[in-house]
């Protein structure tokens, strides 16, 4: 399955998803977001809805952020597939809006898709790898840089910058005075 986050989705990426496989484009959202949109999630499961027609990235973003009764005008609502749930997990871990567009993909059938995967122009992962990453709650910080930053009420201040071992989040410590 090919996935792209809704946050930052542009027309070029959306057209590339359509071109690489030509399958239906779907929007997957978390069960919390689905409930806010007016869908009734099945047993608190993440949901996926068909995006029929020529929906553009701005329309998809508006739909994924909508409040209320989207369910009235929506067809083909179903529980999100395992790859869609994995995409939602990666988006959440990356600090992005947990909403993804998806389309089925078969690299054996689409030679260009196989080439893009082999050259890593499109990245591949498995749901097991995503679940393992999400389950790793151990926090390891690596010092990246630091420097003096005079503040209005504390001229002897330094910022120390750290990055999590998984590279997703950064942290800043403010040291005032001597350590």
Q: Is the pLDDT of residue 73 over 70?
A: no
pLDDT digits (tens, 9 = 90+) for 96-130: 888 999 998 887 888 888 888 888 888 889 999 98
pLDDT digits (tens, 9 = 90+) for 22-39: 678 999 999 888 888 887
pLDDT digits (tens, 9 = 90+) for 135-159: 876 778 889 999 999 888 888 899 9
User: What pLDDT shows up at residue 35?
Assistant: 84
User: What pLDDT shows up at residue 159?
Assistant: 93
- Are 94 and 88 spatial neighbours (Cβ–Cβ below 8 Å)? no
Going from N- to C-terminal start, the domains of the chain cover 2-135, 141-176
User: What pLDDT shows up at residue 137?
Assistant: 67
Angle at 174 between CA 170 and CA 175, to 5 degrees: 135
Pairwise pLDDT comparison (179 vs 88), residue with the higher score: 88
- CA 147, 167, 101, 136 dihedral sign is negative
Measured CA to CA, the distance from residue 156 to residue 171 in angstroms comes to 20
Measured CA to CA in angstroms, residue 170 lies from 148, 161, 164 at distances of: 18, 7, 6
Phi first, then psi, for residue 125 (nearest 5°) are: -150, 170
Architecture of domain 2-135: Alpha-Beta Complex (3.90)
User: What pLDDT shows up at residue 42?
Assistant: 57
Phi first, then psi, for residue 138 (nearest 5°) are: -65, 130
């Amino acid at each position: 399955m090919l996935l792209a986050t809704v946050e930052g989705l542009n027309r070029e990426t959306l057209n590339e998803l359509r071109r690489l496989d030509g399958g239906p484009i779907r929007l997957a959202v978390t069960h919390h977001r689905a409930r806010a949109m007016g869908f009734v999630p099945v047993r608190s499961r993440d949901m996926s809805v068909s995006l029929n027609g020529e929906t553009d990235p701005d329309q998809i973003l508006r739909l994924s952020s909508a409040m209320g009764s989207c369910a009235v005008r929506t067809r083909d609502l179903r529980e999100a597939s395992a790859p869609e749930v994995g995409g939602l997990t990666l988006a959440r871990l990356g600090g992005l809006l947990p909403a993804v567009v998806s389309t089925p993909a078969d690299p054996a059938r689409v030679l260009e898709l196989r080439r893009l995967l082999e050259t890593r122009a499109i990245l591949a992962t498995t749901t097991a790898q995503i679940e393992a990453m999400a389950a790793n709650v151990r926090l390891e910080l690596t010092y990246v840089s630091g420097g003096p930053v005079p503040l209005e009420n504390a001229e002897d201040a330094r910022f120390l910058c750290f990055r999590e071992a998984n590279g997703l989040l950064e942290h800043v410590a403010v040291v005032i005075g001597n350590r």
